[in-house]
Amino acid sequence: MIRAAQLTFALLFLSGCGTARFGGGSPGHVRAEEVAGFKAGPTVVVLAGGRADQEFPLRSAHQITNWPLQRGRLISITVDSAAMPHDISHHIRLYNPDWVVELWEDSYHPRLGLDTQGGTVLHRGAAAEARAIVESVNTSIKEPQNHFRTRGSDTLPQHGAHSLRLISSARKNITPTREWRASMRIRQHRVMMHALLLKLGMLAPAVNADQFLPSTRRKIAVAIYDGEGGGNPMPFCTDLMNGLPGLEAYPLSPVEMSNGALERFDVALFPGGMASHQFDALGADGRGAVQEFVRAGGGYVGICAGAYMAAIQPYQWGLDLLDAQIVDHDHWARGIGPVKIELSKSGKKLFGPRTGLAEYHYGNGPILAPGGKAAIPDYEVLAWYRTGIGRNGADPKVMINTPAIVRGHFGKGRVLVSSGHAEWSSGIESFLLRYVEWAAGRKQGAKDHPTPQAAP
């Protein structure tokens, strides 16, 4: 039941989320989401945003509302604005919270001459809970210098009986500084909140901190690999969500993949970079999780490095998802630049009718050939290379008339790989959207199993 006093706050709840303007405050997008357990228990208000550069705490605050509570109430208030409404404290108190938790991200750990507090859990009347939070988050941080620590603070706003401020750091505590990956910045706050809710008895021990999607949803969910050997996943997230409104995209770390996060996704996208580094970063558990995800019906999209990884073994860094072998791997660094591709009949059906050749950005992607593995169906060619690149001793003719984009099936799932980068190629950037739509097509009941095509 939403009290009348809360309605005057003009927050829009889970049943009707949207934007709101606070009286006397700066305009911004404000959202409140409330989750209630089946039994009475503590009321926890989580506040994020209202400061510059707080994208990742905002994402964490949204994600924690998808966990099922066994008791109590969780209210997540996110302020997507550079300034917090001046009357925020008054409205928080309307919930009569037992706990108020602020999610912050600072630039650095404390440093001489800088007023920074990253990697700190501030607490007021919550020493035991702060210790549990720090112990939980530090288990996934290998370097001791990046560990979180606790500190009591009488300056925390006392909105409720107990106050916490969880302050992560955008950059690692090393010199020269290096940013944490997006997925880990989001995950650290999520893991800390998971530890607190467990300590308060609001979550069942079986609730997985890394399964942050709702168990049922309407939108296609895409996981973008975010780990060693991959670039920044956020442009992929933005491009996909802007191009396909019925889709959500999230950066996902190897740790999350290993811990079962993929189970609630529809598609896993592995981008360009270094296949060997991505393969190693996943580890045996992560690689097994990806294989099982696709086998059970998930979609796999591999671009350049991700295309290498889909190949069959004995390729050293292959996941055995696509019946394809790597040709001339000794000359993998064959060059970077534009080449020409031509769509097959199936490619024109998927990407739209197109005559002639299209320019396609190539960046040391794999040269593919049929793998001949009976346990995996043959792939179908969607586009052929019609020109090639040959540097560092490579023969450019090796590329010509080999597949540039192919698709296939593994178990109940779908696999599509792109040797080059259509997303960086003028005029065919939208191919990326079609990759993801097709890979997730099982959700729409599509049954277009491929048939082999020989190169003309």
Q: Is 130 helix (H, G, I), strand (E, B) or coil?
A: helix
* Residue 269 included in any domain: yes
In this predicted structure, what is the pLDDT of residue 413? 97
Q: Is residue 245 part of a domain?
A: yes
Residue whose pair of structure tokens reads 């396609």 in the numeric block: 360
- Would residue 365 count as lying in a domain? yes
Residue 28's pLDDT is: 56
Is 212 domain-assigned?
no
Residue 359 has pLDDT above 80, yes or no: yes
Q: Is the dihedral of CA 182, 183, 184, 185 positive or negative?
A: positive
Asked if 6 and 93 count as a contact pair (C-beta separation under 8 A), the reply is no
Q: Check: pTM over 0.75? Answer yes or no.
A: yes
**Per-residue confidence at 15, pLDDT binned at 50, 70, 90?**
very low
167 and 288, same domain (yes or no): no
Residue 296 in this model has a pLDDT that exceeds 70: yes
- Tens of pLDDT, residue by residue over 214-244, are 988 789 999 999 999 999 999 999 999 999 9
Same domain, 418 and 340: yes
The verdict on 169 and 241 lying in the same domain is no
Dihedral angle of Cα 105, 106, 110, 111, to the nearest 10 degrees: 150
Number of domains making up the chain: 2
> Which of 135, 164, 199 represents a domain boundary (last residue)?
199
**Last residue of one domain, picked from the residues 141, 164, 199:** 199
> Domain check: are 166 and 228 in the same one?
no
Rounded distance between C-alpha atoms, residue 427 and residue 430, angstroms: 8
**Lowest-confidence segment of 25-39, 169-183, 259-273, 353-367 by average pLDDT:** 25-39
Question: Does a structural domain hold residue 451?
Answer: no
Residue at 93 is within a domain: yes
Contact assessment for residue 108 and residue 117, using Cβ atoms and an 8 Å cutoff: no
Query: Does a structural domain hold residue 358?
Result: yes
Using one digit for the tens of pLDDT, what is the confidence trace for 132-164? 999 999 999 999 999 999 999 988 987 768 999
Question: Tell me: the pLDDT tens digits for 408-424?
Answer: 999 999 999 999 999 99
Percent of the chain surpassing pLDDT 70: 90
What CATH number does residue 192 fall under? Answer: 3.40.630.10
Q: Are residues 188 and 283 in the same domain?
A: no
Out of 164, 199, 234, a domain closes at 199
In this predicted structure, the answer to whether residue 377 has a pLDDT above a threshold of 60 is yes
* Pairwise CA distance, residues 241 & 251, whole Å: 13
Quick one: 145 and 285 in the same domain? no
Structure tokens at 242: 């802007």
Range of the domain at 61: 4-199
Q: Are residues 106 and 15 in the same domain?
A: yes
**Mean of all residue pLDDT scores within the chain:** 90
Which residue's entry shows tokens 């959202």?
A: 31
Task: Report pLDDT digits (tens) over 313-322.
Answer: 889 999 999 9
Say if residue 185 is in the same domain as residue 233.
no
What would the DSSP string read from start to end of 359-425? EEEEESPPEEEE---TTSPPPEEEEEE-S----TT--GGGTTTSEEEEEEEETTEEEEEESSBGGGS
Are both 144 and 281 inside the same structural domain? no
CB 166 within 8 A of CB 121: yes
CATH of the domain at 379: 3.40.50.880
Peptide bond into 176 cis (omega under 30): yes
Both 194 and 63 in one domain: the answer is: yes
Instruction: List strands edge to edge, sheet with 99-106.
Output: 29-36, 71-80, 39-49, 99-106, 162-169, 120-124, 149-152
Reported in sequence order, the residue ranges of 129-182 that DSSP labels E, i.e. its strands, are 149-152, 162-169
Do 82 and 119 belong to one domain? yes
Same domain, 193 and 241: no
